[in-house]
Each structure stands twice: as C-alpha cells, then as structure tokens.
Copies of this chain bind each other. A is one copy, B any other.
Amino acid sequence: MEKQTVTIYDVAREAAVSMATVSRVVNGNPNVKPATRKKVLEVIDRLDYRPNAVARGLASKKTTTVGVIIPDVTNAYFSSLARGIDDIAMMYKYNIILTNSDENGGKEVQVLNTLMAKQVDGIIFMGNQVTDELREEFKRSKAPVVLAGSVDSEKTQPSVNIDYIAAVAEAVKNLIDHGNQRIAFVSGSMDQAINHDYRLKGYKKALKDAGISYDSKLVFETDYTYKAGQSLEPALTAAGATAAFVGDDELAAGVMNGLTDAGVKVPDEFEVITSNDTKLTELVRPKMSSITQPLYDIGAVAMRLLTKLMNNETVEENTVILPYGLMKRSSTK
C-alpha cells in the first residue's frame, strides 16, 4: 500500500493543459492566462500536488540547498554562526545540509565531495584550518565556497571574519594596561592558521608595542575543551603568568574555573580574557571579559554573500571584515 504520488503529469491531464503550463504556474511564470492559471491552481489544490524537488533539481541544475561544514554543532561559537546561516538561508529559500567535520582534514575532504555529489548550489565552510588538499577541492568546485568565521592564510576564498589580529592585540593591550607583564597565550593547535597567523601575531604585536619581550614559555597550546583549560592551572602559575588571553570560551571557562578551584582569585590575582563572546561568558562566575564578535551576523553575512555568489551577482568585496569589540566583564580588573 505504497502512498501514491501525484506528478505534474497528473495535474496537466486533470486540468486539460500541458505539463509546460503547469510548470509555468508552479514557477510563477507570468506568461499564463489568468483563467488558465486559476484552473491549474484549483487542480493542484484538489490533487494536493507537490513538486518533486529532486526532479526539479535534475532538470534545472539548481537544488536550492547549500552545504555547511562545521567543526562541531555542539560548540557554542560555531552553532551561533550556524544559526545565522540557517536563518538567512531560509529567508532566501535555501536549505542547509549540515555536517560535522571535527576539523579532521580527511573527513572534510570526504564531506566536501559528497556535498558536491549532491549538487549543492553553494558551500559554507567553518574550520580553523584550510589544508592544501581542501583548497584544491574548493577551486575545483563549481559551487561557490565561502568561509565563515574561518581564515585561510592564502586568502583565496571569499570569507567573513573579524580582524583577529587587531582584536587580540587590543585584548592583550588591555591586560598590559592593567599592569600585567607576564601574560599567557592559551589556544588550540598552532597548526591552525587562526592561531599562528592571526591570534599569536596580535598577541606579539601588543607585547612589542608595550616593550615586553616575547616568551614562548607563556604560550600554551592545547585542546578547545573545558577539561583542557581546567587542568592548565599548575602550568600557568608555574610560568609566572598573572593573566591570560584565551582563544575559546569553553576553554577559557575551564582555565578560569581551574584557577578558582586552586584558590587563585580571578580577577584580583589573575585576569582572563576570552575570544568569542558566546552565551557562556555570562553564565560563569565571574563573568568573563571577552572580545565581542557578531557571531550570528558572521554566519548571516556569509550566507548572504553566498547567495550573491550563487546568483552570479558581482560582489564588490570578497572578504568582509565585521567589527569586533571588547566587553569588560568581571574576569578582568
């Protein structure tokens, strides 16, 4: 007892017109006599006809779906971007195929390929690192690819970000202004462009501007997890740090709670400033000071940019930089 599907052909027959005409009314083509349109519409309604998007996709070579590659939906930073992406996508009648990559290069390439096989009209990539292989795939893709909240040292793909170097420099300067001389830099893997090419540069710049010499012992390379942050306390104090810039909110929460649990007072004895301004910063105590980023907007703008690209509209600027800010809460003086 398989459910029967009604096709455009059925509608055409019932309405005594051709498939072409039905297709026209379904697609809002104006070249249809009002009377005919009405007649067709009635039949569509009566038969409860619903166009098959797959057939449509095959015939028109447009699927109105875009692929989204995300490191992990569970991460507040990325899920905020994803929300912005989806909202704008929906606004423009696109759907999103969402896949978690765990920032695993192999998986990313594989996922990218299945997305392309599925004929997505465009792709949004989030991830802290664009490998050479990935970059090659991007180029080969006939669907436009835009990076959201993600950087590629080659700057070859359209992208939307904030000015990470300036933002981190400002955050670190703020720490310096509070009298800190030994400031830790805590982030994820230094293999990731965002860390070694952006954040670390901003960090160094702030130090240099203040005449403080760079000490690699103050650089802590770890995972983006709460646990990793929490267990960092002994090392942090051993290195003589009195403040830390942290590259991820969950990690920062770990750092801060680890410190607090060890009896170190934040911010009096140790200041912490984080990077992503997710909800998390307001949930922990003390609330965390943070670089502020328009998370939702990064996603939204990326998607908007993608729609233009998919539409072959000429876009003035391929890489858009959104404004950042600094939000002083209670983890800094």
Apart from A50-B116, A54-B119, what 14 extra A-B contacts exist at CB < 8 Å?
A53-B119, A54-B58, A54-B118, A73-B73, A90-B99, A90-B100, A95-B99, A97-B97, A97-B98, A98-B98, A250-B279, A253-B283, A257-B285, A285-B285
Asked whether, in the complex, the Cβ of B97 is within 8 Å of the Cβ of A96, the reply is: yes
Residues of A whose CB lies within 8 Å of any CB of B are 2-3, 5, 50-55, 57-58, 63, 65, 72-74, 76, 79-80, 82-83, 86-87, 90, 95-100, 113-119, 140, 142, 226, 250, 253, 257, 260, 279-280, 282-285
Cβ-closest chain B residue relative to A68: B98
Known contacts A3-B142, A50-B113, A53-B119; is-contact A86 B99 (Cβ 8 Å): yes
Asked whether, in the complex, the Cβ of A226 is within 8 Å of the Cβ of B279, the reply is: yes
What is the minimal beta-carbon distance from A114 to any residue of chain B, in angstroms?
7
Cβ-closest chain B residue relative to A143: B3
What is the minimal beta-carbon distance from A95 to any residue of chain B, in angstroms?
5
Known contacts A53-B118, A87-B100, A90-B99; is-contact A283 B280 (Cβ 8 Å): yes
- C-alpha spacing A118/B52, complex, angstroms: 7
What is the minimal beta-carbon distance from A91 to any residue of chain B, in angstroms?
12
Would you list 22 pairs from A and B whose C-beta atoms are within 8 A, ordered by A residue? A51-B117, A52-B119, A53-B117, A54-B118, A54-B119, A73-B79, A73-B83, A74-B76, A74-B79, A74-B279, A90-B100, A95-B114, A96-B98, A97-B97, A97-B98, A226-B279, A226-B282, A226-B283, A250-B283, A280-B283, A283-B284, A284-B285
